[in-house]
Amino acid sequence: MKQMLLAVGVVAVLAGCGKDAGGYEGYWREKSDKKEGMIAVKKEKGNYFLNKINVFTGKEESMLLSEKDGALSINTGIGEIPIKLSDDGKELYVERRQYVKTDAAMKDKIIAHQKKCGQTAQAYLDARNALPVKPDVSAASGGDRAVETAV
């Protein structure tokens, strides 16, 4: 009788220990040589959210994720886009995008760097626009002659 009760208790405990999507939580940096991208996966009040982080402003755009059997996916309204986690938990895959796990300090560093890049680019444009405009020398030095000889 005690063995039967113990077996039922173990089964009940194991049934309550379903897969958890906790490995998805954290900050993720997109592996791309074309642009800088960051996302965060967070759990709030029992729900998982994917926050797309604007690396220029630091603002986050949030979307609710679906969880099933310890795996997360994005519900598009038409279907589900699975979010895959590597076996070691260090890489995340969403469609053709690949992300590596990072931390909040790196996220803050990237945002600060992108803001500084934007300021530098704006300073360059301001300085360039302040330069005097040179006349177009190609039109004045033979552009008209080329038309005359062709006629």
The domains located in the chain, with CATH, are 20-124 (2.40.128)
- Span 72-123, pLDDT tens digits: 999 888 989 999 999 998 999 999 999 999 988 888 888 888 888 888 988 9
- Span 125-151, pLDDT tens digits: 999 999 988 776 665 555 554 445 454
Q: Counting Cβ atoms within 10 Å, is residue 38 exposed (0-12), middle (13-18) or buried (19+)?
A: buried
* Residues whose CB falls within 8 Å of the CB of residue 36, separated by 6 or more in sequence, listed in order: 29, 30, 55, 110, 114
Tell me the C-alpha to C-alpha distance, in Å, between residue 5 and each of 12, 16, 17, 18: 11, 17, 19, 21
Q: Are 100 and 91 in contact (CB under 8 A)?
A: yes
Q: Model pTM? A: 0.65
Tokens of 129: 């626009």
